[in-house]
């Protein structure tokens, strides 16, 4: 009982200080939330416009996990068709200089995170994606012909087209 009586002045002090601070900072927090809302809304609009502007574009996204990027850069990237843009991630950092913000947003919104590499196709203003992780590791571990993987990648892009 005495312990509770000792806590009452502390609680009263916190209420005396806490309530005015909440009242004081409420307008600042409210302005921040409104600003953040409109900033996100504008960012989504710019991202949508960007996707529309690159309609039909294809991306092959891979990272520097283990030594896979050496295999990809040697066997896959040179054999990709010209309409497929490779995107290399070093850790979480995109190495491509162009539109890093939008590419990052695109990769953050990958639908099923099964692992790199991913292929992404822009269709009807949306980024359609699929992980090629399982297929890639099957080809690499079984020493299959990388050209067959290229054929599979191109077929996967076509399948992305038909899902819309």
pLDDT band per the 50, 70, 90 thresholds, residue 164: very low
Number of folded domains that form the chain? 2
pTM for the predicted model, two decimal places: 0.77
48 and 93 in one domain?
Answer: no
109 and 61 in one domain?
Answer: yes
120 and 62 in one domain?
Answer: yes
Domain extent for 106:
55-162
Question: pLDDT tens for residues 40-99?
Answer: 999 999 999 999 999 999 999 999 887 788 889 999 999 999 999 999 998 888 887 778
Which of residues 118 and 159 earns the better pLDDT score?
118
CA distance 154 to 138: 17
Both tokens of 110, joined, read 């990958």
Q: Is the pLDDT of residue 8 over 60?
A: yes
138 and 97 in one domain?
Answer: yes
42 and 6 in one domain?
Answer: yes
Q: What is the CATH number of the domain that holds 156?
A: 3.40.30
- What is each CA distance from 109 to 5, 95, 120, 126, in whole angstroms? 53, 18, 11, 11
146 and 106 in one domain?
Answer: yes
């Amino acid at each position: 009982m005495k312990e509770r009586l000792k806590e009452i002045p502390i609680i009263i002090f916190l209420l005396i200080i806490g309530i005015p601070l909440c009242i004081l900072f409420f307008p600042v927090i409210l302005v921040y939330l409104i600003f953040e809302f409109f900033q996100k809304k504008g960012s989504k609009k710019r991202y949508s416009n960007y996707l529309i502007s690159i309609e039909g574009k294809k991306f092959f996204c891979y990272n520097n996990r283990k030594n896979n990027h050496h295999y990809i850069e040697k066997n896959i990237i040179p054999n990709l068709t010209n309409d497929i843009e490779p995107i290399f991630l070093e850790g979480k950092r995109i190495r491509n200089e162009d539109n890093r913000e939008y590419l990052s947003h695109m990769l953050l919104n990958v639908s099923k995170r099964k692992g790199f590499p991913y292929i992404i196709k822009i269709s009807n203003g949306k980024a359609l994606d699929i992980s090629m992780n399982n297929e890639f590791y099957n080809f690499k571990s079984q020493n299959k012909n990388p050209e067959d993987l290229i054929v599979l990648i191109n077929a996967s892009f076509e399948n992305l087209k038909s899902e819309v």
